[in-house]
Structures are given as structure tokens and as C-alpha cells.
Amino acid sequence: MKYIILFISFLILTSCNDSTEVKTLRGNALGTTYSIKYFSDKTIRSIEIDSILNVINSSMSTYMENSDISKINSGDTSIVVDNHFRNVFKASKRIYEVTDGFFDPSVGLLVNAYGFGPAGYPDRVTDIEIDSLHQLIGFDKIELTESSKIEFDTSTSYIDFNAIAKGYTVDVFADFVETKGSKNYLIEIGGEVSVKGQNLDNQNPWKIGIELPLEDGSRELKYGVNLYDQSLATSGNYRKFRVDSTTGQKYVHTINPKTGKSQKSDILSASVIVDSCTDADAFATAFMAMGYKKSVEFLQTNDVLKVIFIYSEKDGNQKTFISEDLQDSVEEF
């Protein structure tokens, strides 16, 4: 699950020029909330945003029994997926391959087994059950055909786009806002953010706040980041976890596709900055599964992604890794 709090101050202008007056939309989306702040002469209506959300949910929400993805996961081979599904599938396949499987939407089988899926928590989960399900994991076992249908190598495969869907929806919202003539906006869904231009209210870049990873539920800002026509997504396990009532074992939300285990990463919070919020969302999840050492090694071969990792050393001390060319845009509180 992604956790980040926006750190943006707005003074609502009363100018007669609509293009310099901030407009705001807020609502519910994808099990969380959304916020759209934009400057434009045109007005975006909530009903237009709801329409976009309805289409995306009908395509890819595992929490809707009648969505395309739910029907596919239940074995319906007749479903022809829409453009949203195709776009997310292709992005997922690309990131699955480049991360060597650390981002894997087929891990939904294990997400459900650990109790983080639509069905809720099981009484308990055993190592035998996890090992059995782990044999079925692998996005390379799932294909999108030329006729826009999904084919599984095994009858029990499962797709879960929850680790990329919010980022993708932010990108869809951004495209829509731009059709309304806005060149300066900030869009956020559950902490996934995309910005363009600047905050015309103060003629400054859009600034986003990143929280300390605190398990007690409290919120404390650690960094402020200036974004320039970029997207940012943050992933962390410091709030969404459960404890087995029988064994007392703690299970975290991020599942390592390589091991099939719910294991706490030494990365406590992974924030990724890149042009596409779709990519930022997926890579933030992948880095949580990779852990600190593998993630830093990966970044040495990728100069597009910029990151802020808050991680824990073996002695328990928290430290921060910030991409070198991002450091001038980051302020510590």
C-alpha cells in the first residue's frame, strides 16, 4: 500500500481571470481518495471523473465481482479486455521483465492467501499452502492475445493490478485534465501523484511531502520534494500489515514474488519519481520486494528513475538514500 501526504499550500485567488484561479475536485477512487488541483478556464465536473473511474473499475477492479478482471480470474476465457486493461497489462509485462520478476501482478494469489485481497483474512496461512501457491506465480505464464483475450498457462492463475492501477489512473486523469486546456495541475490518488507546470498561486514548483515510516499510525513529514512535470509514487509496509491471531506472526502487504513470502523489507519507504505515474507505482512496489541492496544495484543501470529510500540498517538505525541528481530538489524538514 502506498503512503504519502501532500504538502501543498493554496491561497484561493479571486482574480477575474479563470486561468489563474485554482480549481479543486475531491472524491473517492479505487478504495481511497483523489484530489485534482488545476488551473484552466474550463471546469471539470465530478461526474466526468466518476465516469472515468467507472470504466477503469469495470475493467480492472478485483473488488468488483462483475469486472472483467474478476471474470477472467474466475476462469471466463471469453472476455475481450478494453484499452485500459491492455495498457496496464503491457506496462506490467515490461516492468516484470526489467525487474526480473520482482514486480509481478500474478502474485495476487499469495496476496489473497495472506489476507490482503478482496476476500479478507483467512483463519491462518500455512507454509505448505504458500509453497503450493508459489509454484503457480509468474507473469510470464500469462499472455495477452492478439484478440485481446487473456490466456493462462495454469487453470488457477490470477491477475491483480492493484500495485499499478492507482498510478495508471493518475495518468488517465492527467490526460483528461489536459484536454480541458490545463497546463498547470496536480493530480493525486491515494498518495500517487502527477504534476505539470507549476502552482500558479505562488509561481513555485509543486511540492510534495514524504512521511517518515512510523508504525504507530502517527504522521510526520520528513522530506519535501519539488516536482517538475513528473510523477511520484511511494510504497511502504509500515501501516498495512496483519498479525496472525494464533501464531502472533506479523504479515506485511508486500509479497516477495521470488520467495512467495510476506517478509518485511529493509526498505521501509520507497518513493519513485519518473515521468509516468504508472511506472512510478509499479517500481515502488518492486523496490520494496527487492530490498535495499538489489534496488541500488538496479538503479546503477537505470538513469531514468529517481528515488528516495528510507531504509533500516542491520542495527535498526534508519537512513535515507536519495538519487544524486534529485538531491537539489529535496528539502528535509
Q: What is the pLDDT of residue 16?
A: 33
The rounded distance, in Å, linking the Cα atoms of 267 and 252 is: 13
52 CB neighbour count, 10 Å cutoff = 16
Of 283, 281, 304, 312, the residue nearest 295 (C-alpha): 283
Which parts of the chain are beta strand (E)? 5-6, 22-29, 32-39, 142-144, 150-152, 184-189, 192-196, 206-211, 221-227, 231-236, 241-243, 250-252, 267-274, 306-312, 318-322, 330-332
Which amino acid appears at position 286 of this protein?
A
Domain ranges across the chain = 5-332
Q: Give 218-236 pLDDT, tens digit per residue.
A: 678 899 999 999 999 999 8
Q: Is the pLDDT of residue 267 over 60?
A: yes
Highest mean pLDDT among 87-91, 125-129, 318-322: 87-91
Q: How many helices (H) and strands (E) does the chain have?
A: 8, 16
Look at 180 and 217; give whichever has higher pLDDT. 180
CA–chain centroid gap for 187, Å, is 14
Residue 140's pLDDT is 94
Structurally, what CATH architecture does the domain formed by 5-332 represent? Roll (3.10)
Tens of pLDDT, residue by residue over 34-76, are: 999 999 999 999 999 999 999 999 999 999 999 999 999 999 9
Q: Averaging pLDDT over each range in 88-92, 127-131, 136-140, 240-244, which range is the top one?
A: 88-92
DSSP 220-285: -EEEEEEESS-EEEEEE-SSSEEE-TTT--EEES---TTT------SEEEEEEEES-HHHHHHHHH
Q: What is the pLDDT of residue 13?
A: 33
Rounded Cα–Cα distance for residues 70 and 58 (Å)? 9
pLDDT at residue 12 above 70?
no
**pLDDT digit string, tens, across residues 273-294:** 999 999 999 999 999 999 999 9
pLDDT in tens, 106-140: 998 888 877 776 655 455 667 778 787 888 889 99
Q: What pLDDT is recorded for position 100?
A: 97
CB 142 within 8 A of CB 129: no
Band (216; pLDDT cuts 50, 70, 90): low
Q: Which amino acid is residue 144, in one-letter code? A: L
| For residues 255-268, average pLDDT | 83
User: 333 to each of 7, 96, 222, 224, 233, how far by Cα in Å?
Assistant: 11, 35, 5, 7, 20
In a 10 Å sphere around its CB, with 0-12 CB exposed, 13-18 middle and 19+ buried, how is residue 99 labelled?
A: buried
pTM of the shown model:
0.87
- pLDDT one-digit tens code per residue, 165-199: 999 999 999 999 999 999 999 999 999 999 999 99
Over residues 246-254, the mean pLDDT reads 49
What is the distance between the alpha carbons of residues 186 and 184, in angstroms, rounded to a whole number? 7
